[in-house]
């Protein structure tokens, strides 16, 4: 079933190039944090660098996506990616040895984050162009989300190996090379060239309505992001409380594995239930699974609960992306996807910060239950938002490719980049573009 997606002309070549570039988002956060700490000797500076880098990457994503829609991927993405890679190169150079001023790192990190190319949202726009069949599109989005999840898991592992033999700044340089090479190959694909720019400055009114049209998936993915960001910190606190801080990585790996399984299964099923109602149920299911984690008596049980939480993550993100894709005109798809991506990443950062205020003051079961309220409230809120997609008639779309209930779009595991976009729940706070 997934083979049919990759057999589509230019799909494998384009997708492979996009993943190469997006691997940079899996390696850059940890590399930059370690490099900043090594160069300044200050955790405060390293934390500020990462906070501004991540914030600029996340919150300016819709603006960068607007340029992609207006000028087309080739014209907009190429200078964006090369500028971003150049800034990472400068960061690698100045952090290679100790002694760099903290203010310089902060300024460079802010500029680099602002230039981060939205490879994830752009690839999903290309998928929409390549696959008019909604069932195949859902599978493509599911595959995309699972692959991104793996990138955000493998990225920090790659950095962990690199720092054994080279300065952390080498990881920053590697991230620059990955995003530059991946983007150049990506934009050279005929599939990317076929994405027509909107061209005109018009569409202002349309752009103003984008966020309103994708409000439902944005609300749900915000709740999912908050839950994921909180879960990362709660798992660590739980493991430390049991005297096994090292086990936190395995519990989070179970969450990622559950997400991958859920994503693949979601893409394989021809759903009969409309995407909008599925999205609500997925959000409520995630809340229930996270709430159940509060009852875990030990690490093994927590790992099982984390895997159950993961089962809902990729399907929820995939469905949200598909809904956003169908809610707007084709010329605004990149922006619509970027808003969903921004929501999950911003939610992840906010969730980690919020639960950090609770841990230590309240019992961990109470903290887990508190974290579960975000996807619960998001799911309940969307019960009242039943407005149909703007581009298509609900019936036609909903009856077609179930797994995606025509009104859904797919994952970037959005997960906060396990990072810092693409990726993924257990990643550091960086934008999953």
Whether 198 is in a domain gets the answer no
Residue 430 in any domain: the answer is no
d(CA 279, CA 285): 10
Domain that holds residue 234: 208-386+395-404
> What average pLDDT does the chain have?
83
Segment (H or E) for 402: none
Q: What is the pLDDT of residue 381?
A: 85
Return d(Cα 315, Cα 320) in angstroms, integer: 8
**Of 26, 32, 58, 60, residue with least CA distance to 46:** 32
Is residue 431 in some structural domain?
A: no
Residue 357: the pLDDT is 85
251-255, 352-356, 401-405: segment of lowest average pLDDT = 401-405
Given 193, 216, 247, which residue is the final one in a domain? 193
CB 136 within 8 A of CB 157: no
Residue 401, pLDDT score:
38
User: Does residue 218 share a domain with residue 166?
Assistant: no
Average pLDDT over residues 301-312: 93
Residue 232 lies in a domain: yes
8 Å CB contact between 292 and 308: yes
Residue 200 reports pLDDT greater than 70: no
Q: Indicate whether 87 and 132 sit together in one domain.
A: yes
CA atoms of 345 and 51, how far apart (whole Å): 12
Res. 204: pLDDT tops 80: no
- Which two tokens mark 196? 């027509």
Residues 306, 307, 309, 313, CA torsion sign = positive
Instruction: Domain count for the chain, please give it.
Output: 2
Same domain, 257 and 156: no
Q: Which of 207-216, 248-257, 344-353, 362-371 has the lowest mean pLDDT?
A: 207-216
Predicted TM-score of the model (pTM): 0.78
Residues 268 and 134 in one domain: no
Per-residue pLDDT, 409: 33
- Residue 247 DSSP class: G
Look up the CATH number of the domain holding residue 186.
Answer: 1.20.1250.20
pLDDT greater at residue 424 or residue 341: 341
Residue 366 has pLDDT above 90, yes or no: yes
Region of 203 please: left (phi>0), alpha (psi -120 to 50) or beta.
left
Whether pLDDT at 60 is above 60: yes
- Distance CA(149)–CA(279), nearest Å, equals 20
Give the pLDDT band (50/70/90) at residue 132. confident
Residues 179 and 247 both lie in one domain: no
pLDDT confidence band for 274 (50 / 70 / 90): confident
What is the per-residue pLDDT for 25? 92
**Which pLDDT band holds residue 247 (cuts at 50, 70, 90)?**
confident
pLDDT confidence bin for 51, thresholds 50/70/90: confident
User: Of residues 13 and 200, which shows the higher confidence score?
Assistant: 13
pLDDT band for position 206 (cuts 50, 70, 90): low
Instruction: Tell me if 8 is assigned to some domain.
Output: yes
**92 in a structural domain:** yes
What pLDDT does residue 422 have?
39
Higher pLDDT, 80 or 359: 80
Exposed (0-12), middle (13-18) or buried (19+): which is 276, by Cβ within 10 Å?
Answer: buried
Task: Report pLDDT for 432.
Answer: 53
Share of the chain above pLDDT 90, in %: 38
pLDDT of 277 reads 87
Query: Is 126 found in the same domain as 218?
Result: no
Residue-level pLDDT at 384 = 63
At 389-420, the pLDDT tens digits run 444 433 333 333 333 333 333 334 344 444 33
Mean per-residue pLDDT, 9-30: 93
The per-residue pLDDT for 410 is 35
pLDDT confidence tier of residue 387, bands split at 50, 70 and 90: very low
Does 104 score more than 90 pLDDT? yes
> At CA 355, angle to CA 159 and CA 347, rounded to 5?
65
* Residue 384: φ, ψ to 5°: -95, -5
* pLDDT recorded at residue 201: 55
């Amino acid at each position: 079933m997934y083979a049919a997606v990759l057999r589509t002309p230019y799909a494998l070549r384009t997708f492979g190039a996009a993943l190469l570039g997006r691997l940079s988002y899996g390696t850059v956060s940890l590399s930059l944090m370690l490099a900043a700490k090594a160069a300044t000797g200050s955790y405060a500076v390293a934390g500020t660098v990462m906070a501004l880098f991540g914030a600029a990457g996340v919150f300016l994503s819709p603006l960068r996506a607007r340029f992609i829609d207006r000028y087309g991927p080739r014209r907009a993405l190429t200078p964006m990616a090369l500028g971003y890679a150049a800034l990472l190169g400068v960061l690698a150079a100045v952090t290679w040895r100790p002694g760099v001023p903290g203010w310089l790192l902060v300024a460079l990190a802010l500029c680099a984050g602002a230039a981060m190319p939205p490879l994830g949202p752009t690839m999903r726009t290309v998928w929409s162009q390549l696959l008019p069949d909604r069932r195949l599109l859902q599978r493509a989005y599911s595959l995309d989300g699972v692959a991104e999840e793996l990138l955000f898991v493998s990225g920090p592992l790659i950095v962990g190996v690199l720092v054994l033999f080279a300065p952390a700044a080498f990881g920053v340089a590697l991230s620059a090379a990955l995003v530059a090479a991946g983007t150049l190959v990506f934009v050279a694909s005929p599939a990317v060239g076929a994405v027509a720019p909107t061209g005109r400055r018009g569409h202002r009114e349309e752009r103003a309505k984008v966020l309103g049209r994708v409000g439902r998936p944005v609300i749900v993915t915000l709740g999912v992001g908050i839950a994921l960001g909180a879960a990362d910190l709660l798992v660590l606190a739980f493991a430390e409380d049991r005297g096994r801080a090292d086990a936190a990585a395995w519990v989070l790996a179970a969450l990622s594995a559950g997400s991958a399984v859920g994503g693949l299964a979601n893409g394989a099923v021809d759903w009969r239930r409309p995407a909008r109602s599925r999205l609500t149920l997925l959000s409520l299911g995630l809340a229930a699974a996270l709430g159940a984690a509060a009852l875990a008596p030990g690490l093994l049980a927590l790992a099982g609960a984390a895997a159950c939480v993961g089962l809902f993550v990729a399907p929820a993100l995939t469905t949200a992306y598909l809904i956003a894709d169908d809610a707007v005109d084709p010329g605004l798809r990149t922006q619509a996807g970027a808003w969903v991506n921004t929501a999950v990443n911003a939610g992840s950062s906010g969730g980690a910060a919020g639960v950090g205020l609770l841990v230590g003051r309240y019992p961990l079961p109470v903290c887990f239950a508190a974290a579960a309220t975000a996807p619960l409230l998001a799911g309940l809120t969307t019960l009242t938002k039943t407005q149909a997609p703007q581009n298509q008639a609900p019936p036609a779309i909903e009856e077609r490719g179930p797994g995606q209930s025509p009104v859904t779009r797919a994952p970037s595991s959005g997960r906060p980049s396990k990072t810092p976009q693409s990726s993924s729940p257990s990643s550091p706070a960086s934008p999953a573009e």
